[in-house]
Amino acid sequence: MTLKIGIVGAGGRMGRQLIQAVHNAQGVELGSAFERKGSSLVGSDAGEVAGLVH
């Protein structure tokens, strides 16, 4: 069974660290990533924001 995680403030320092931790963990997947309204990161790929995808 996989646990889906949602991260609020995904574009911040802690949010990016949490995305990386979820990426590296077994049995966990990123279900959703939220950023504040009007942020330039809205609509961006969470992996790219966290530096996982180039």
Residue-wise pLDDT tens digits, 36-45: 999 999 989 8
Greater pLDDT, 34 or 54: 34
Q: What is the pTM of this model?
A: 0.86
Q: In the chain, where are the structural domains located?
A: 3-49
For residue 54, pLDDT beyond 80: no
Query: Can you give the pLDDT at residue 10?
Result: 94
Closest by CA position to 53, among listed 19, 28, 8: 19
Query: Can you give the pLDDT at residue 53?
Result: 80
Exposed/middle/buried for residue 39 (C-beta within 10 Å: 0-12, 13-18, 19+):
middle
Residue-wise pLDDT tens digits, 11-30: 999 999 999 999 999 999 99
